[in-house]
Amino acid sequence: MTTTYQSHYQDFLISTDPSLLNLEVIHEFLTRSYWAQGIAVEIVKQSLENSLCFGVYHHQRQVGFARVITDYATFAYLADVFILEECRGQGLSKWLMATLVAHPDLQGLRRWLLATRDAHELYRQYGFADLASPERWMERYFPDIYSTQ
């Protein structure tokens, strides 16, 4: 659906080119995260293949990531957003969010969703808010799925 999209900031690059993604860096971060602890590398690989991925690079080394699961028409789910610890504090997460919400293929969507434990204020800056009608939402949630595979 989409062509490669890029943005530059100082010595950093954001790109949607899947050939630049470093599966090892992404898997290592996710397996230590609170939301995907223990996730298998095969599952990460499959998730990358089926999402619009935004890699953040410093001199060709991957230092950040986000992926959008979308139909490109009505809905998007933002997942797996991170900046490596040693690169935080430079405005990279804000630049990543600004870049991804400005992506031309993600304009005009009716709804975006995400889940976060600790970055609410970051996401609020880009139009995310608490659910307007939480009583309408339901979920199927398997919090221990990665530890049982």
Domains and CATH numbers, the chain: 6-147 (3.40.630.30)
> In whole angstroms, what is the distance from residue 111 CA to residue 107 CA?
11
Task: Give, in degrees to the nearest 5, the angle at Cα 7 between 3 and 13.
Answer: 110
| Closest to 29 in 3D by CA, of 63, 58, 54, 52 | 63
Q: How far apart are CA 96 and CA 91, in angstroms?
A: 9
3-state DSSP: the chain helix, strand, coil percent, rounded to 5?
35, 25, 40
Residue 25 and residue 121: Cα distance in Å, rounded?
26
Q: Cα–Cα distance between 68 and 116 in angstroms, integer?
A: 14
- pLDDT, mean over the chain: 95
Tokens representing residue 26 in the block? 């992404």
Q: For the whole model, what pTM was predicted?
A: 0.94
Would you give the distance in Å from CA 42 to the centre of its chain?
18
pLDDT at residue number 97: 98
Tens digits of per-residue pLDDT, 21-72? 999 999 999 999 999 999 999 999 999 999 999 999 999 999 999 999 999 9
The per-residue pLDDT for range 87-105, each reduced to its tens digit, is 999 999 999 999 999 999 9
